[in-house]
Amino acid sequence: MTAAVPATTLPQATPRRARRPAPRPKAAVTLPPPPPAADADPDFRALDRALRATAARMTQGLSPSVLLEAWTDWALHLSASPGRRLGWTLAAADAAGQFAVWLAEASAAGDAAPLVEPQPGDHRFADPVWRQWPHVAVAQAYLLGERLLLDAARRVPGVARQHENELAFLFSQWADVLSPTNVPWLNPVIMGHTLQEGGANLARGWLNWMEDAGRLMKGAPPAGAEEFQVGRDVALTPGAVIYRNRLMEVIQYAPATPTVHAEPVLIVPAWIMKYYILDLRPENSLVRWLVGRGHTVFMVSWKNPDAGDRDLSLDDYRRLGVMAALDAVTAAVPGQRIHACGYCLGGTILSIAAATMARDGDDRLASLSLLAAQTDFAEAGELMLFLDERQVSLLEDLMWTQGYLSGGQMSGAFQLLRPNDLIWSRFIRDYLLGDREPMTDLMAWNADATRMPARMHGEYLRGLFLENRLSAGRFAVEGRVVALRDIKVPIFALGTARDHVAPWRSVYKINLFSDTTVTFTLVSGGHNVGIVNPPAAERGSYQILTRQHDQRYVDPDTWAASAPSHGGSWWPAWEEWLRSIGQTAQVAPPRPSTTLCPAPGEYVHQA
């Protein structure tokens, strides 16, 4: 039903008033636009980025919010977990009781089996004097405390796994700082040297520290590096630069045999360091060794970018790097397919280039060798602990002010992955014992760091590390996605057992994403020493096994348990693999049609 409308009540009449003139219409008022938001003002953005970049320099590129969030998550959940706190307290009390009993027995007997052994790879207490009383008691007390400290970061209900790993890493750093090996009066090795030399070791250590501090302020290389000059002491394999662009040079090495294998080898090294780790001294040069076995070898030598190269992209390293190098090799050795080999980052960009070539029907590759190179970053090791949006954003702000990420800023992060080997052991040896470790060619190369262009490094961290686009099928080249499974040439993939940069299980995952025959090799050693292992050194070992493209996938641990092991260098196994999949024809060595300058070229000398 429709509601009834009440009758309208008219108002009563009121006395007539004088009529006022109608007001003039007001002019339209145009209000000023609202001020732009701070985020839209480039000056404000610049202020914010400059402030964050300053903070990044102070923290060596580590985002404070990452640590704060991990600590807060752990502290809040631990405060709400009385059972976990009680369990840890009882464990600490039990450890204290065991230590007290052990201490009484050890002090009476002067010798006792240790309660706790150091972790594998921990050499801080390797000197036999640490087994003697009373130093063994100091070592055991520390190792028990270290174990309790690291256990405190684990198994707290509700803490995110990422935060748990971050905090465990932070606790391990604290434990390393507090080690009695770093305290002169608690370290019997240091005290023995000091008493024996009358303090001369400390005087030498002070001089060493003064020299290192002076070199650091001047930006000079470490002491002894001047004994390994590029082109004089290292990077000596004869050759010539046959191509150069704004990003890299291509070196063609001179033949050492009357005839050579028809198919050449192109090596793409990492641009995070200089190429000559693969051409150090003649006795440990992989390049010279390959040339001596009749291979025509080409090498990419990357430019050391500066602030003017801030806009170089990751795809520029593919186009101006890998693809331009392939064009140069094709021009030098026409009509032959190429065995392409990539090391570390060079292997990653080579994989992207190979997938793009397979997508586009470019069949110039004969094989693909990936040395300690990752194509999947889901298990990229401890580098991933603090790599999230906040961390990448902070690094981008730091690179925005500089145009690049310096070698020193990168080396600090790598040193934190192995603080006992790379920081504290050197501190003890150089400054407390006063003994300089003799400089080696590999150490001098490691000090010859390079920079990373801002745009490229940001794209690399986001697209590969943070979002893992390549193995997820979301990495686009020239607007179209590329897939690793499109690569049909044989793959030789190599991981190193003690690799903190590219963990071997991460490198192994090329088996998951490829649809071709993969020969995987696991070598002893780390990211650099495992690679530079000439046969004449007669050290190390390796495992090798081939999976055909139609065979089932085998997980890395099962592979490691079944792959046969061999002593010595992996170089002969790789060279035999190259010969087995390549042409058997021997040809006259190709001569460079263009020579820009002798090897090692110009870019390798850039500081």
CB-based contacts of 417, cutoff 8 Å, min separation 6: 381, 382, 383, 500, 501
What positions carry a catalytic annotation? 344
pLDDT value for 300 = 98
Please check whether residue 300 is in contact with residue 346, taking contact to mean a CB–CB distance below 8 angstroms.
yes
Q: Residue range 106-113: average pLDDT?
A: 76
From residue 442, give the alpha-carbon distance in Å to each of 141, 279, 550: 37, 10, 40
User: pLDDT: is 54 or 178 the higher one?
Assistant: 178
pLDDT tops 50 at residue 9:
no
pLDDT tops 70 at residue 449:
yes
pLDDT value for 11 = 38
- 93 falls in which pLDDT band (50, 70, 90)? very high
- 32 falls in which pLDDT band (50, 70, 90)? low
pLDDT tops 80 at residue 110:
no
Calpha distance 517→379 (Å, rounded): 23
The pairing of strands 248-253 and 297-302 is: antiparallel
Residues 242-261 pLDDT 10s: 999 999 999 999 999 999 99
- 42 falls in which pLDDT band (50, 70, 90)? low
Calpha distance 394→414 (Å, rounded): 18
- 240 falls in which pLDDT band (50, 70, 90)? very high
pLDDT tops 80 at residue 167:
yes
Calpha distance 499→277 (Å, rounded): 16
State the amino acid at position 219 in one-letter form. G
Residues 359-392 pLDDT 10s: 999 999 999 999 999 999 988 777 776 677 777 7
pLDDT value for 19 = 45
Residue corresponding to tokens 């370290």: 187
DSSP for 281-311, written as a single string: SGGG-HHHHHHHTT--EEEEEE----GGGTT
Please check whether residue 587 is in contact with residue 259, taking contact to mean a CB–CB distance below 8 angstroms.
yes
Residues 284-315 pLDDT 10s: 999 999 999 999 999 999 999 998 999 999 99
Residue 54's Cβ-side half-sphere holds a number of Cα atoms within 13 Å equal to: 5
Q: Residue range 438-452: average pLDDT?
A: 90
Q: Residue range 39-64: average pLDDT?
A: 64
Cα dihedral 287, 291, 293, 294, rounded to 10, equals 150
User: pTM (2 decimals)?
Assistant: 0.85
Residue 178 three-state SS: coil
List the chain domain ranges.
45-190, 239-385+445-605
Q: Residue range 162-177: average pLDDT?
A: 87
pLDDT tops 60 at residue 112:
yes
pLDDT value for 2 = 40
pLDDT value for 57 = 64
Distance between the two ends of the chain, CA-based, in angstroms? 92
pLDDT value for 31 = 47
Calpha distance 532→520 (Å, rounded): 18
pLDDT tops 50 at residue 332:
yes
Calpha distance 578→314 (Å, rounded): 29
- 17 falls in which pLDDT band (50, 70, 90)? very low
Q: Residue range 277-282: average pLDDT?
A: 96
- 456 falls in which pLDDT band (50, 70, 90)? very high
Residue 241 three-state SS: strand
pLDDT value for 35 = 52
Q: Residue range 24-32: average pLDDT?
A: 47
Q: Rounded to the nearest 5 degrees, what angle is found at the Cα of 166, between the Cα atoms of 160 and 167?
A: 90
Domain 239-385+445-605 class in CATH: alpha beta
Give the rounded percent of residues in the chain with a pLDDT score beyond 70.
87
How many Å separate Cα 243 from the centre of its chain? 29
pLDDT tops 50 at residue 102:
yes
Q: Residue range 465-471: average pLDDT?
A: 91
Residues 512-529 pLDDT 10s: 999 999 999 999 999 999
- 173 falls in which pLDDT band (50, 70, 90)? confident
pLDDT value for 328 = 97
pLDDT value for 242 = 97
Calpha distance 142→152 (Å, rounded): 15
Residues 524-552 pLDDT 10s: 999 999 999 999 989 999 999 999 988 99
Please check whether residue 441 is in contact with residue 284, taking contact to mean a CB–CB distance below 8 angstroms.
yes
Q: Report the chain's C-alpha Rg in angstroms.
A: 32
- 29 falls in which pLDDT band (50, 70, 90)? very low
User: Which of the residue ranges 112-126, 170-184, 225-239 would you say has the lowest mean pLDDT?
Assistant: 112-126
pLDDT value for 70 = 86
CB-based contacts of 483, cutoff 8 Å, min separation 6: 355, 359, 473
pLDDT value for 582 = 83
Q: Residue range 153-180: average pLDDT?
A: 88
Taking Cα atoms as reference points, which of 414, 425, 421 lies closest to residue 447?
A: 414
